[in-house]
Chain A
């Protein structure tokens, strides 16, 4: 069921169109990621949902009700701020209890719920500490607990893991997913880290310059990017410059590329293919390419290969599984042919 609908939502700051006409439907219990580079309008969009910015135009419907005019304290929506915004003069427990006190719940119930959530985020023994006596990771969890304890219909998280180091981030990604599942609350998480979005989200929306570029499951976005930007932004992608001539797509080295899409005659574009779709030998698909190995790197389970080819200005990345790599010894400087299927090839005009 749809929980939140955005209809042509806009926010302009003077001449800056921070959010420029976004339509989006978010389902109940969904873990939804807003993905975009810095300045793409992610925070502005969240602040409109939380009620801190009035949209310049468009509608925000929560459970079918327009909420644009509702002040932040009257919305069943909570925001976890990028800066965490913990109350520095209150202890961890007081920070978490604050939102429940605002609901005028009985003291006993507040205490039970605070203790409960402290258990969930494993900070029970730090309940009496002030925020400035906590580590970054602990603060992040307090901020999460403070928003979560209100059991909102919708929880907004603005780059919740942005300030954490890489290892902690990996752990917290799984932790967040577990918590979301356990509480059954709809999450909208903002991130500029595509890997994070792919790992956590049920669906991802890619934002660019305040516009929605593409929205879909991680699989859809990864396998079927609809624009060159999306293809480049998510994961690693090889781009081979191509031109449509005589009814064929030709690379700079004169090889023919077979793909489902085509360009107009004479038009230039790029053929895009993921590194893991390239295979050794010339019999693994309709398309092939030859190049010299310029770099080799083992990554545990797989082997990464860089090929210098006349077909592309940048080295072509190839990701071979360990099994595939064992079939042939590879050395730097060696000439290698790789091939791939037409169905794994996407064509974008430039």
Chain B
């Protein structure tokens, strides 16, 4: 891993990132320190009010709630995704690409369509309710749609393919003899998984978890559709500040914290990946 790509090969990507990622982020960052105009515009006087407002229990609570939902979704997605990836990697080699294709297939359809599909499944006269009746269940079903659980289900479903791919990569590269060595030395199946297979494939788990968490915590479509406006996640709050409340500076402040959380997690994940692979980060 000593070859360094010449800088000029990276320059188009760098230019792209600067123009469409770094500059807008800096603009948002700057915006957060200005005052909101009386009629929704921006008043260019310096203030820390927006930042302080983020820590208001009302908004901090939304952050915590979002983090909780994103964390739960990421956890479930990682457990289900890892198990699926494990099963795919254990299948005969020639069948693996097909299985992988089907696992990722939903991902190629539109995000909104996929989410609406869950409304059809979960609503009071939906497929699940009909099935329950058909099976002879007459009692009152618990409310399925427009709940936190519905949001979690929607998020897990949407991001599961990412996790499967992220976990499949290290699992399929694993030399099966290493797990056999653990068995040979006296390890049970579970011990072998816990002490050998899982640590060796942990980068995939970390990547999958962070991916789902980061995409979930900022998500506003799924909470809006499956949460039915019963509660807000950070994404909805930011959306509202920019598009309905017309409070751009506060929206910017919220976004900044969101970005900070994501960056922190991605850094941790990179660190975890390096530790597991035993390589040092390359100086760039």
Contacts and interface: CB of A to CB of B under 8 A. Distances in A.
Contacts, number: 63
| Chain B residues touching A, range | 10 to 19
Given A89-B200, A130-B278, A79 B184 contact: yes
B115 to A, nearest CB: 39
Nearest to B176: A85
Contacts of B180: 52, 72, 81, 85
Contact of A102 (B178, B186, B200): B186
B109 interface: no
A88 interface: yes
Which residue among B181, B188, B278 has the maximum number of chain A CB atoms within 10 Å of its CB? B181
A86 to B, nearest CB: 8
Contact of A78 (B178, B185, B188, B191): B185
A89 B278 contact: yes
Interface string B194-233: 0110011000000000000000000000000000000000
A288 interface: no
Given A89-B199, A130-B278, A102 B175 contact: no
Given A73-B186, A98-B185, A103-B186, 10 more contacts: A51-B183, A73-B184, A73-B188, A81-B181, A85-B181, A87-B182, A88-B200, A98-B187, A102-B191, A146-B181
A230 B183 CA distance: 36
A161 interface: no
Contacts of A197: none
A99 interface: yes
B271 to A, nearest CB: 15
B184 A72 contact: yes
A318 B65 CA distance: 88
Contacts of B186: 73, 99, 102-103, 150
Nearest to A81: B177
Which residue among B185, B186, B278 has the maximum number of chain A CB atoms within 10 Å of its CB? B185
Nearest to B187: A102
A72 B181 CA distance: 9
A2 interface: no
Nearest to B186: A102
Contact of A87 (B183, B184, B191, B196): B196
A83 B180 CA distance: 12
B178 A87 contact: yes
A232 interface: no
B243 interface: no
Interface of B: 175, 177-178, 180-188, 191, 195-196, 199-200, 276, 278
A79 to B, nearest CB: 5
Given A83-B175, A83-B177, A88-B200, A98 B182 contact: yes
Contact of B183 (A72, A130, A146, A147): A72
Interface in A83-134: 83, 85-89, 98-99, 102-103, 130, 132
Given A85-B175, A88-B200, A89-B200, A73 B183 contact: yes
Contacts of B199: 89
Nearest to A94: B195
A170 interface: no
A78 B184 contact: yes
Contacts of B177: 81, 83, 85
A71 B278 contact: no
A50 interface: yes
Nearest to A77: B184
Nearest to A149: B185
Contacts of A150: 185-186
A49 to B, nearest CB: 11
B203 to A, nearest CB: 11
Nearest to B202: A89
9 contacts: A52-B180, A73-B187, A79-B184, A83-B175, A87-B178, A89-B276, A98-B182, A147-B185, A150-B186
A83 B181 CA distance: 10
Contacts of B191: 102
Contacts of A83: 175, 177
A158 B211 CA distance: 42
Nearest to A146: B185
Contacts of B185: 73, 78, 98-99, 102, 146-147, 150
Nearest to A156: B184
Which residue among A83, A87, A103, A132 has the maximum number of chain B CB atoms within 10 Å of its CB? A87
Interface in A195-217: none
Contacts of A89: 199-200, 276, 278
Contacts of A79: 181, 184
B179 to A, nearest CB: 9
B270 to A, nearest CB: 17
B184 A50 contact: yes
Contacts of A102: 185-187, 191
Contacts of A88: 178, 200, 278
Interface string A54-85: 00000000000000000111000011010101
A146 B200 CA distance: 19
B103 to A, nearest CB: 27
Nearest to A96: B185
A191 to B, nearest CB: 18
